[in-house]
Structures are given as C-alpha cells and as structure tokens.
Structure 1
C-alpha cells in the first residue's frame, strides 16, 4: 500500500517480471537462488488490473485454454478438467461457465465477474504465488467483497497472494496477513504483520511520538495513510522511513532477508527442462482452437464480411454483365480488366481494414499470455493466420461463383481455377497485410493510417491506372514490388493471355494486345502464381516477427 505515486505497481511488476520499461537494480531471489524469469513464470500468476481476455470465448473455455497450456504435459485431460471444476467452485464462477466473456464495459461479464475470471485463469495454472494489481479497483462494496472472498479462498489453499490495493474497507484490509507500506519515492514506512484487528500496525504507529491515536471503529487503512502523509511528516518533524530503519521490526526483517537469501542446505534451484509447459505443436493446436471459437462467435466480423462480399459481387456482376466474353474491341478488354481490378481491390482493402480491430484486441491478450509463459509468439501467429484460411476460401468461392457467372468469363476448369486462385491469394495477402500493419504499430488507429497510404500506392502501381510499359523507368521497380500488380497480371493473363482471336479495330490478336499494351505474357503465369503465394507468406512472416520482437505495452 501507499499514496499515489509511491511505486506500488512498479515494485510488483518488477518482482513479477512484468516491467517493460526502465532498468532494474538490485537482486531478486527465490528460495535463496537468483530469480530466472522463465522459470518463475511457470510457478507464478499475475492478475492485471484491466482484466484482459479474449471476448468471444466462454468462461469455461478461457479456463480450459489456460490449463491446457500451463499445466504440465503429465496432467491428463480428465485431471485437468477436474481441476478446472474445483477452481470454478473456488472463485464462484460455476453458474457462469457458458457465459461469453465479452468486452469490458460493452457486453459479457460484469467488472466483478471479469475480475474473478482473471483470478481463475491464473489459478488453473496451479501457481505457488499470485500477484494481483488492485483487485478491488473500480468495484462497489458488494463486488469488492466477493472478489476478496475469492482471494481469501485462494490463500486458504496454501498459495501466497501479493496485492497492491488502494484505500480498502476495514473488512478488506483485515483480510490480509502482512503489509508493505510505502511513501512517495518507493521508500519503506512499515513492513510487517497486521495482527488481529490490525493491532501490530496500530501499536507500531501509535508508539511514535505525536501520532494521533486511532478512533474506535475507524478504518486502520485510512488512519494509517492519514498519519503517514507528507503533511504529517512536516508537522511532526519526523521521517517515517528513518523511524522504520531504526526500529526492531526493520532489524528483524533484515535478518530474515539474510536468512532467506541463502539456499537451504541440500536444496536445489528451480529447474524445468523446457521453457514452456507444452510442446510447440500443442501450443499451435491450442492457439488455433481458441481462435476458431473466437472467429465463429464473432458475426460482426465474419458474417458481415460475407454479406459485404456478396453485395459487392452482385453489384459488379450487374455492372459488368456479360462483358467477359466480349473481345472484339480494346475497350472490351479494358472493361474486363476494370471488373477484375476494382472488385478484388475493393474487397481486399475491406478485409485488411476489418481484421485490424480483431487483431488489436487479441494482441493485448497475447501480451498477457506470453508474459505468463503460455506459449511463444509463433504458435499465436499460426493460430491467428491459419484460422483465416477457411473463411477466405469461402469468401473467394462465393465471390468468384457470382462474378464469374454474371460477367461471363469463359467456363473452363483451368480458367476458373486461376480466377479463384488469384482472388483467394489476393484476399489472403490483404488480410495478412492488415495484421502485419497492426503488429508494426502501437494501436489500430495508426495501423489504419499507415495502411491507407500503401493502398493508394498499390492502386497507382497496379498496372491498371498506368500499364507497366508506359510507366517511367525509375518507377517500374515499385510495380514489381506491388502485390496487387501481380494479382492483376494473373487474373488478366489467365483469362485472355491465350486467346488468338483478333480484335476488330486493329486486327491484332487478343494475346498479342495483352502482351504489347499491358506487358502480360501468358508463359509467365506460373511465376505470377508463385509470387502471389510468396506475398501472402511474407506478410504472415513479418506479422509473426513483429509480434515476437515489438512490444508496445508500456508497464
């Protein structure tokens, strides 16, 4: 405890290994051995103040996911589920097992229920020590009492709970066993037991000359903060830090620290043969499992995307009705290319923009889960990218069936396959590009601004506004670096690059015109297909690398 700015959360973040900024001096030991964060994360839990969880999974699924990745592989599925049931009873979440978590302040669980879920998610990992950052913050008296009952139940199972807490009620304050009181600047004022009805704390401060006695029935926590404030120090002419450092309590604590800083004879340092509880493959399976449910239960993202795609397909199908079979004029080919260019680009940009808020929410969850030692960055990115594939396949099939039939392109297996192939990979790399932009930037707003600039460049260098043979030589390099240029190349050349029929206006064959005017060679189709796949893979890999290396969470 301590006044605002005393460094309560900072100290706890340092002890728990969650601090991302600044530098740390000093020494932290576990059972006498220097703390190894990777090992410590396996035996500790951390309940953040803002209760971050995936919104589209249930309470039970959240606990199952945490237990799956954090309990040792030797714990079988049945034992894991029994343990989850025990934890749900302990934190009084059993009636809410099938409730969706939801977003804070929007839908789903209440603030107090989310707080209990946060505690439960850590408990199913069976930690020895749990850190809690202001577990009663933002709760009314009833909700705070429920959460503290959960905390007390946790302690009664033999676990250590370390909390930062701000102005607790009498009941909440006296639920704790020991107090670490700090003043501004992180200096110690009191470190020791509270005692029954806070008797040890009260006796310590009342023994200091000039400190006002506590009134009957007054909250010891409030009284303690009042009598140790900066104004009281000035009026009494004392420094509570100096008083503590000259006390018997301080000397006993120093002796205890000295004793605990030396490993016990015959003891061994904590050791795990692997960094994570579960194998890389299991991490991938678990991450994909959670993302599958998150996507399935998110109609505002998945269903709306299909409705949008269907609407765009019908609109462009009616606008370019039966133009795909017409090749007698140069304008016919330009119209066909326009239908390919505009619809796919339009849907692709929509995909990139709509996936960004989804990834932004899940990235915040990723920061918590990675810090807890649940998995590495690559299983998470595998789950996030792989879960998109079935939805992208369905989206591409729906779009292509509608547009291909209505515009009237030639119905051959090979040509329809290529149309579907290039459309699918265009939607894929647009989606992965949206993910990548989020991973490279601090928040979704900046990601959308940065993305929009590149959409404009992709539009300009796609080869439709200005064909490649007519571009200035010093800009041709960007044409080859533009992913959508390759998609448009593949779509047009797969449909018209092998047609020998002459164009009525010039007498030139369609395939020669496509080659001369646009620079599209049918023999290059295989290379174009490979490059389209490579762009999707490159964006996915950059997304994974950025998630692994960049951490925009500031603690």
Structure 2
C-alpha cells in the first residue's frame, strides 16, 4: 500500500510541471526535450523504488526458505513460483495507478491504444526491476553485496537507456551495453509508442541539430519550413520561419535509432529479460544456501 501511495505521489509530482500547458499545438525544442526527460525520469525513479524495496523483504523470505527446505517442507520450485505470482499484483496495480495519473496529467494523446502501450512498457519496467531485485538477493550472501548489484543495474539503465547519452553518440564498445540494457527497450517503447504519427508542430532553434535535420528533409516532408501557406489554411500555425513535427523531432533527437519498426523487438527482448530474471532466481534458490542450518 505504501508503495502505491508513493507511486501516485511521484506520478503527480513529475507530470504536474506540464499541467498548465498540456499538449500544446506548437511546442519548442526545450519543451519536447523536457517531456522526453520527464518520461525517462519517471520509469527510472519507479524502477529504483521497486528494486530497493524488494531487497529487505526478499532477504527475510530467502532465509526462512532455507530453514523450511532443510526441514523438507518446501523446495525451490514452489518459492520461485510464489515469488513471481505474489509480486504480480503490485506490478500491474502499481503501474496502472502511476500511468493513470502521469499519462493524463502530462498531456499525452487521448488514445486508448497509446495509453495501453505506455502502460504495457511501464509494467515491463516495474517487473524487471522487481524480479531482478529478487534474483540479486537470492544470488549473493548478504544485503551489502545485493545492493552493489542493484547499483550496477540502476547505473547501467541510467546511462545507457538513450537519454543521458543518446544512441547516435555511442560507437564501438559502448554500443554493446546500449543493446544489452533493459532500460533502452523500455524507453524506446515508451517514446515511440507515444510520438510516432504525432504531427503537432515543434519550432526549430536556428543552428540546432533539429533545425538542420528539418531543413535537410525533402520539401514534401517539411511543409512548414519555410512557411509558405497562410496560417488559416494549415492545421497548425508555425509562429517562426521553420517548424517540424513532433515525430520529426523524435527522429532527430534520437538520431533515427528510436523508431516504430523496433516495437516488436522491444517487447520480445523485454520478455527475454524477464525470463532471465526468473531463471536466475530459480537456480540461485536451487544451488545456494547462505544460512547455516
């Protein structure tokens, strides 16, 4: 219950920044960057809360399990299944509560399919942090070591999910952690599912990467740059000499790495990560015993 209340509070706190200017017809580059950053912060914060709160509970469960197994009362298969089922309620409910507040307050599109996609990827994220927290606690002897593993997991997701260092600026060795980071697939799913096909306008800053990106597009793909039509004859009025769309801003911001063609891949990879976490927990419970009995 406490975790749900905290989730609701964080959802409103993060999204309320945009409550007075929800879903404007014309945005600036700074506004769009702020929205992308807030979505990133939201899944990171909730993930960190999930993985840190699961550790102490998992430690107690694990140590009691060792005693019960020694007495022949249970085995690793039963506990592994119970852990997956017990956490499922919080994962689904916590994600739904967070998304209901965050999604509509920040001003994302009023579309059932887009909301469902946002909730789905957010649920994946919450499940990954929860189940990897269980796996780490079952894999090592004490809380201190599990917290180190958690810190590494959190740090990798912070750095390689695609915002702090965007994928177009990674090369060589650093592309490897980008492609094996769960947060990359969560973040791509959250962003692409919301902003693909979004034709609201984004004004360009002269000389910016986005400005160069839009001006380099074929003429038919940049009808607002320069604005050749009177405002009353267009769906949106570009207030400057050059505008692109939200979808084009997304393409420019992530260098074309985030695109709708990757959504199925994102879902499959996140599913594989979940299976990895459950298998890791299963074999850790089967082969390790860190309590003297």
Aligning the two structures, in what range does the TM-score lie when normalised by the shorter sequence?
Answer: 0.7 to 0.9
Q: Does 1:404 align with 2:103?
A: yes
Distance 1:376 1:324, change over 3 A: farther
Tell me by how many angstroms 1:510 deviates.
Answer: 2.7
Q: Does 1:496 align with 2:195?
A: yes
Pick one of 528, 543, 555 that aligns with 2:266. Answer: 528
CA contact (8 A) 1:323 1:332 kept: no
Note the alpha carbon deviations across 1:412-432, whole angstroms, 9 max, x for none.
011000110011110110001
CA contact (8 A) 1:324 1:336 kept: no
Q: Which residue of 1 aligns with 2:87?
A: 388
Tell me by how many angstroms 1:550 deviates.
Answer: 1.6
CA contact (8 A) 2:18 2:107 kept: no
Note the alpha carbon deviations across 1:205-245, whole angstroms, 9 max, x for none.
xxxxxxxxxxxxxxxxxxxxxxxxxxxxxxxxxxxxxxxxx
Q: Does 1:485 align with 2:223?
A: no
Tell me by how many angstroms 1:324 deviates.
Answer: 5.9
Distance 1:451 1:308, change over 3 A: same
Q: Which residue of 1 aligns with 2:7?
A: 309
State the TM-score, normalizing by the size of structure 1: 0.44
Q: Which residue of 2 aligns with 1:268?
A: none
Q: Does 1:378 align with 2:114?
A: no
Off by >3 Å, runs of 4+ in structure 1: 506-509
RMSD across aligned positions (CA) = 1.7
Distance 2:110 2:272 in 1: 28
Distance 1:406 1:433 in 2: 30
Structure with greater helix percent = 2
Mapping for residues 110-149 of structure 1, pairs under 5 Å: none
Computing the radius of gyration from Cα coordinates, the structure with the larger value is 1
CA contact (8 A) 1:381 1:544 kept: yes
Note the alpha carbon deviations across 1:4-41, whole angstroms, 9 max, x for none.
xxxxxxxxxxxxxxxxxxxxxxxxxxxxxxxxxxxxxx
The SS at the match of 2:183 is helix
CA contact (8 A) 2:95 2:122 kept: yes
Tell me by how many angstroms 1:410 deviates.
Answer: 0.3
Note the alpha carbon deviations across 1:241-263, whole angstroms, 9 max, x for none.
xxxxxxxxxxxxxxxxxxxxxxx
CA contact (8 A) 1:322 1:406 kept: no
Note the alpha carbon deviations across 1:136-169, whole angstroms, 9 max, x for none.
xxxxxxxxxxxxxxxxxxxxxxxxxxxxxxxxxx
Higher relative contact order (CA 8 A, sep 6+): 2
Tell me by how many angstroms 1:342 deviates.
Answer: 0.6
Q: Which moved more, 1:434-443 or 1:313-322?
A: 313-322
Pick one of 129, 132, 149 that aligns with 1:433. Answer: 132
**Unmatched segments (≥5 aa) in structure 2:** 205-210, 212-242
**Unmatched segments (≥5 aa) in structure 1:** 1-302
Distance 1:474 1:554 in 2: 43
Pick one of 11, 16, 31 that aligns with 1:332. Answer: 31
CA contact (8 A) 2:135 2:280 kept: yes
Q: Does 1:318 align with 2:56?
A: no
State the TM-score, normalizing by the size of structure 2: 0.81
Distance 1:497 1:475 in 2: 27
Pick one of 248, 256, 261 that aligns with 1:512. Answer: 248
Q: Which residue of 1 aligns with 2:115?
A: 416
Distance 1:531 1:324, change over 3 A: farther
How many residue pairs are counted as aligned between the two chains?
A: 253
Tell me by how many angstroms 1:322 deviates.
Answer: 5.6
Tell me by how many angstroms 1:400 deviates.
Answer: 0.5
CA contact (8 A) 2:198 2:247 kept: yes
CA contact (8 A) 1:323 1:336 kept: no
Tell me by how many angstroms 1:338 deviates.
Answer: 1.2
